[in-house]
Amino acid sequence: MSEGGLNALTKQFEGCKLTAYRCPAGKLTIGYGHTSAAGAPEVTEGMTITQEQANQILASDMQKFERQVESLVKVELTQHQFDALVDFCYNEGKGNLVQSSLLRYVNAKQFDKVPAAFMLYNRADGQVLNGLIHRRAEEVKWWSSGEAPIDQEEMRATPDVPKAKTMADSKQGNTALVTSALGAAGAAKTVTDHAQDVVGQAQSANDLLTQIQGLLSNTNFDIMLAVVVAGFAIWYFRKQHMEEHGV
């Protein structure tokens, strides 16, 4: 990839973050958009790097995506066209490029259809992002003429902030609540059944105390109570994790 393409596309749109963050798709990211999926180093929560390390990681990552584009494209390209495809592959991943109409049009030399094919990829986690719309538009511009981006103010200088998730979005948390509710219902039924026995059998205060003690030692009641406690505990710790890490 040319230095001009790298600066105008990849570096400009990715921005450089020296502390790990979550991209709009929820993946841990650092440097110029590096994720663990791209290879070493693995990105972890709270990870920090230097600017020099960010440059080294980007150089290493770009070699991988350059080779991928070289292996997939079967026709001769200009430098600008190659730059645009490498940036696309870096941003969207090899899998999306392999399956895309973009690659099909390129290899068929139907270059008139390439711009529209670029613009199809404007979503992250199902949401259309302005940052991706602008990035695809600049890739098209670079593909067509090598012209550097003009509208600097509209370009994404920092990562888009992902939509905050709540416990309502947590499948594990919702399952825990349902489990607790079922356990509570089971415990309530056991108490109701036992209460009927107490009314029918208790002859004195001592008998009533004995019946209550019998409830506490009832296996079904103990199991249901444990289910309630376990379900609530799972929900609580899931909530703590989501508040701390956002996922």
3-state secondary structure 211-245: HHHHHHCCHHHHHHHHHHHHHHHHHHHHHHHHHHH
Ordered alpha helix ranges (H), the chain: 3-5, 12-14, 51-72, 79-92, 94-99, 101-107, 114-119, 130-145, 171-201, 205-216, 219-245
Q: What is the pLDDT of residue 191?
A: 56
What backbone torsions phi and psi does residue 28 show, to the nearest 5 degrees? -65, 130
What's the Rg (C-alpha) of the chain?
29
Tokens coding 138: 């600049």
Q: What is the pLDDT of residue 4?
A: 94
Active site residue 14: yes
Q: pLDDT tens digits for 205-229?
A: 565 566 666 655 667 767 767 766 7
Q: Rounded to 10 degrees, what is the CA torsion of 62, 42, 136, 101?
A: 80
Q: What pLDDT tens digit does each residue of the chain (247 aa) get?
A: 999 999 999 999 999 999 999 987 789 999 999 999 888 999 999 999 999 999 999 999 999 999 999 999 999 999 999 999 999 999 999 999 999 999 999 999 999 999 999 999 999 878 899 999 999 999 999 999 866 554 444 444 444 444 555 666 666 766 766 776 776 676 666 656 655 655 555 555 565 566 666 655 667 767 767 766 776 677 676 666 555 545 5
Tokens coding 226: 């444990």
> What does each C-alpha distance from 237 to 126, 146, 243, 244, 245 come to in angstroms?
28, 52, 10, 11, 12
User: How many CB atoms are located within 10 Å of the residue 140 CB?
Assistant: 17
* Residue where the block lists tokens 């070289």: 70
pTM over 0.75: no
Q: Crossing angle of helices 205-216/171-201, nearest 10°?
A: 150
Q: What is the pLDDT of residue 72?
A: 97
Side-chain half-sphere CA neighbours of 64 within 13 A: 16
Catalytic residue among 14, 42, 76, 138: 14
